[in-house]
A and B are shown apart, each in its own frame.
Chain A
């Protein structure tokens, strides 16, 4: 049991809760102060690198909801360590940077809280061993990123982007949940480390493929893979530190993490290779193409992030040892330079007031430190030696070249993408800083150190990683690749591989990229004219889909909840009849009715017919009082039937109640308007037919039930014991006050409530409005 992991998560959560207060107490230094925690945790975990490299795994377990498969079970291996370090390290920098970037913002405290919350969640994702715990943290990242994207919540665009990100990743997350549960049920455990060991058993299940597809949906949405990529550029509405942290370095890589984490289970299947590689490639191309034409620094970076994520997914999909190594290396290097570039973009924006790359130039004099960071990071992004990006690119080419039988396609794709990265790194890292000073909304000043130091650190690390690959990059890459492959792997990284096809490709890449950079304006201008294509893209589909969903919801709700009582009743009647009919006909052959109806006398016929006639008359009458009178006939008729069939108590109550109802009705009715005929004849006919189905159902049920043999009834007990045990000769009354007196207790409570209700209703009418009551004149 290793207490460090849960403690780390817990501490981050606690700090998140206190962040607003710390911010209040130390408005100038809060970010720096709070960065101490992630930095400390970073160092603590870094200390474990050698142990992890040696194959040691740190675990922690705590019972949570075992019955539901949820165990708070953590697990730190090489993969988790790589991610943890990125999360904590970049997180610490972002805290420092953010404090300065958002200095004076009245919601800065919340910013810290959400960043820390996110950090805890993300850390949880990458160290969870239990699939469901992983999901818990996964969703937490969605929520905290929702809160962060919508940081500028008073802008409609921010709210839209936040919702979009939440819905897309949340939707994927739900699919993933289903997939994880399926996986857990097939394997009988939710512990990922165990599931990873039983790939063969899992694959044998028919549910394996659905589980895979569902989990894939989660990973693809989270990592902004085509066609779910569109939320990521939208998320650039967030403050720049957030973009740097969530949308380049960490959260978007959660999907990549998940694929890597579960690849031992899935990677040997053809579906995995086809789908994951395919999605990766598609995303990579889409990101690259969409990046062309962007002039907003952040958008430009965002689309290249999409492309890079595609690259990583593609490599994971391919799944060879080399590919995994490439993927891990690429991931590491990407996090460093992309994080740095976002932070640079933020600094530039902060100082100049714009992020429009076409307006930015010559800033190196005003912002030298920023320019340095930008240049270093761009070097890595362009894949130029001696930066780490260069090595990553070389290994990537090595992988694509070896990827038989599709090496041609993959290599060509990688070439195009990397060339584009060269061009973009020129646009982001060179263009704003060189040349003549441009016109910007704000006069540029050097950014404060706290804005420059974090990108410098990241970019510098990227450079150092290239210079000392075996010290700085190889251990992490090796540790993580080993964890993904669950087998030992020796990773050797070097800046110089000698003259090989990869180097040739690199040169070609550089040439193409420089060409694109030089001629960016016409190319950009051309693609700007292709914007209308976006109408067929998934982003538009999302918007249209959401709008249509809203519209459909409104339409359906209006249709159903339309306010017409008549419709509600019809629905209820028809539902009842349909369900009851279905149920009866399902298991019986036709109706079993009775053929012996019992003796019948003429006076009973008269009573019955009178009741029927009276009831039918009610449907035709327009006089309210006449209706009451005829209701009286129905009531008296029924009372006589009750009496005739041995229920004098019932008859008595019925007579008494009829009289009281008349009094009641009369007192009420002269305040009510007279009847008017409001419905058209066809509608009345329809109503009548629907009502008749209900009536018919009851008639048939009565006949069916009375055709059955008499079963022993509990009433026998009442008839036998009413006098000896309950001292009453009137069995009905004994039932009412003794055998089932409890019913009567409830009954008088209802009565009491009715009384109070009438009283309160008449005496207390807050919304009273004077209504001129038309004189009743129908009779």
Chain B
């Protein structure tokens, strides 16, 4: 069994501390706020100058002056603040943002990240990804373990252009939770029903297995949202 995209988001949400300042990339990370308890006081940061981003705006109530970094219409939570790009990237580059969660095209065993320039993409675009990868205190990756064609995305070395070298701290996938450690990539948890060997099979670098490596504790559903996939991993 593997996790759904919501399941990956749920698992990340468990590791975001109370009062954290968190920047969420596009894709799976945008699902994380649905799983944060109400009293966490976690502030979601958006590069375009918002701290305290709330839920997406209900259709018909969008404010044209209020979008997030993905240009979606959002709302604001109580205590939200607005600022210009200079202060927004002071927060990022200056190490004030505690966590960024973003997707990846490739992650290497040493923590190298490639997520801004995909093979075959003709028009490059980097946005705030590099500043985040170089600047935040904790960089987490949330992604599917393999490509849609089944190829590993966790590699011995990245082949795509780097976003930043040695920046990733932890990877969350549909199969596992892994830490980048000085000794190498360490498996911490695997999806319910899998085992370390199954994860290793889809992972290019040799995985270290943590002493307390264990199956994830993850409910099948939360608030009616399915966290564990119905079919077994391919």
Partners in one complex: no
Q: Give residues in A with beta carbon < 8 Å to B.
A: none
The chain B residues found within 8 Å of chain A, CB to CB, are none
